[in-house]
Chains A and B, each alone.
Chain A
């Protein structure tokens, strides 16, 4: 199976399932439409369980909100330029072979890129994190940079300090 096909077959949803306690989180037929969407879901799953979380105020559990439909809705709320930035951010992670990796690994790598990555890459990652946040919560604006910036900066600081982000807690 090619990497792209692997992602399209719902590996990202599988990653989300792992980190959220083994409960299947996606509705039937809700596989991500693209590897970019899959990566948005994967980052959203990380954002849902990393202790420094997005305040979502959603009544449904985070697991129930990790759906392809919500990714599509978040994308629909972003401008074309922002969507392009999200895609670049996702591609950056895909190129580093982070599709489908456990959340802990993803957070570690995000932590390193946020700390040491080129400013353009970090900007693209912010867009990706914003899309992930918007997937988790309708309150989060996918165009916004500040809150994704806080989230990534927290990871960057941990990397600076030689600390490994934990999952949950």
Chain B
């Protein structure tokens, strides 16, 4: 199988976007990419638009509305599609439990809210306390899709805190009303850079003077608000609208007043933090800015969200509306909160299925690696999930399961199998020891480094990596081998949390053009 022509790839990518436009709302679709057709379990030479689905069904069992077309026309060229079952799991939003579902009086930003007229019991996040510049009153800010039901809610619609989804049996709905929907930035077909609404706070509801959050101080000059959580893909990618645009469009001011909003886009790799209804306090990074994604907005259709900030593992279903703050420097230590954040993220990641390529690796390399499923989970949850770089790798792996599966469909050569076995025999005990002890003194040796490069050779030889991908991975290895040499597990984990490590791994992943970078974006309300 040869490399794909760049023109063909570009054409297929556009066809993929069309598929996304047509069917991106379908919850069965977990991603769209470009690849080669698989037939009878084997890869062919035919370039196709790969549509990843959670469950593949025979076309006769799929309604016409949801049927993935066999081909998509782009500029007069028919681009064929191939439907593959991707093993990555999107978390079920139904009944998504939250960490901050309780009643908060006075109101604190970060807690759960919803509106009355939404037919579904829903939950999103109270993003911020604001002053309405039109009349000077105090209001709450959240996402349009959380408290205005995508333009469909009437003005004066009651806003609940706790959210309807989180209400206890003892709580009567009317006792949880904190305000009335006042206005929103309309989400229409086409494009939007804002998904936001405000509600006027009821006179009987107290808002704390400092307007602090459930677990977070309000934004300040050194910790300005930069964005609002609006969408995610279920693989860890999270998109934020810009806070300055949101406030301007709604004509409101963030409280307490002051220079507390980032005027420009945050610089790449800035550290971010937020508090939200589902995952409470979490920290992440701004990986990219100026992003555009297409989101299926219920009742509106496909909307292009523009000028977004991309982050990862910062939020989950039910966190929509959460205000995101750029983290301050060391003057604002949050070790305890960050520990909690890591614990939450680990719990979230633990809900993903075990590494979805183990059985394919076992087949291709003839090593009994499925016996190490528990160790694989441990590496994912107790090591990778503990750093920004590691979580990025987790996201990439689950997003690219179909690609990995397709490249591991063939048995490797006897030499590669034997080599894999030597690595397996050597590294399973080493990794077991290292994972058993967070303070393990085992260090990365020169041999480990050489094994990394030899492994890349073997993977290219076995067509698991393309030559371009191998070259990229080699460059990455050469950049950092001197730095990581001699590191223990704890030191490596710390290194993987540095901007430099995150940035270089992200750059490398973007250079590997076959990799899918994100799944289908969806608004992050829980219902």
Contacts and interface: CB of A to CB of B under 8 A. Distances in A.
Interface in B432-467: 445-447, 450-451, 453-454, 457-458, 461
Given A55-B454, A55-B457, A146 B415 contact: no
B421 A157 contact: yes
Contact of A55 (B413, B418, B422, B453): B453
Contact of B413 (A57, A150, A161, A169): A169
Interface string A47-80: 0001111110100000000000000000000000
Contacts of B454: 52-55
B422 A154 contact: yes
A59 to B, nearest CB: 14
Nearest to A133: B450
Contacts of A141: 446
B523 to A, nearest CB: 47
Given A144-B447, A147-B447, A50 B415 contact: yes
Given A150-B426, A169-B461, A52 B453 contact: no
A53 B454 CA distance: 7
A165 interface: yes
B414 interface: yes
Given A150-B426, A153-B425, A52 B418 contact: yes
Interface string B398-428: 0000000000000001111111011101100
Nearest to A153: B422
A108 B472 CA distance: 34
Contacts of A155: 418
A158 interface: yes
Contacts of A158: 414-415, 418
Contact of A157 (B422, B450, B453): B422
A165 B415 contact: yes
Contacts of A55: 450, 453-454, 457
Contact of B415 (A52, A54, A57, A150): A52
Contacts of A157: 417-418, 421-422
A169 B415 contact: yes
A154 B414 CA distance: 10
A163 interface: yes
Contacts of A164: 414
A52 to B, nearest CB: 4
Interface in A122-153: 139, 141, 144, 146-147, 150, 153
Given A51-B413, A169-B413, A150 B451 contact: yes
B447 to A, nearest CB: 5
Contact of A154 (B421, B450, B461): B421
A84 interface: no
Nearest to B449: A55
Given A157-B422, A163-B414, A51 B461 contact: yes
A150 B418 contact: no
B424 to A, nearest CB: 10
Nearest to B478: A57
Nearest to A147: B447
B412 to A, nearest CB: 10
Interface in A10-61: 50-55, 57
A5 interface: no
Nearest to A55: B453
Interface residues of A, number: 24
Question: For A57, A141, A153, which residue has the most chain B Cβ atoms within 10 angstroms?
Answer: A153
A50 to B, nearest CB: 7
A119 B392 CA distance: 44
A113 B178 CA distance: 80
A54 B419 CA distance: 12
Contacts of A153: 418, 421-422, 425
A163 to B, nearest CB: 4
Given A144-B447, A169-B413, A169-B461, A154 B453 contact: no
Contacts of A154: 415, 418-419, 421-422
Contacts of B451: 147, 150
B450 A147 contact: yes
Contact of A150 (B416, B422, B446, B457): B422
Nearest to B453: A55
B450 A52 contact: no
Interface string B265-305: 00000000000000000000000000000000000000000
A165 B451 CA distance: 20
B418 A161 contact: yes
Contacts of B446: 141
Nearest to B455: A55
Contact of A53 (B422, B423, B426, B457): B457
A111 to B, nearest CB: 9
Nearest to A164: B414
A5 B454 CA distance: 37
B138 to A, nearest CB: 64
A167 to B, nearest CB: 10
A74 to B, nearest CB: 16
Contacts of A50: 415
Nearest to A162: B414
Question: For B418, B425, B454, which residue has the most chain A Cβ atoms within 10 angstroms?
Answer: B418
Contacts of A57: 453
A13 B418 CA distance: 28
Contacts of A163: 414, 418
Nearest to B366: A161
A146 B423 CA distance: 11
Given A154-B418, A154-B421, 18 more contacts: A50-B415, A51-B415, A53-B454, A55-B450, A55-B453, A55-B457, A139-B450, A146-B445, A146-B447, A153-B418, A154-B419, A158-B414, A158-B415, A163-B414, A164-B414, A165-B414, A169-B413, A169-B415
Interface of A: 50-55, 57, 139, 141, 144, 146-147, 150, 153-155, 157-158, 161, 163-166, 169
Closest 8 CB pairs of A and B: A157-B418, A163-B414, A55-B453, A51-B415, A154-B418, A153-B422, A52-B419, A146-B447
7 contacts: A51-B413, A51-B415, A52-B454, A150-B423, A153-B422, A157-B422, A166-B413
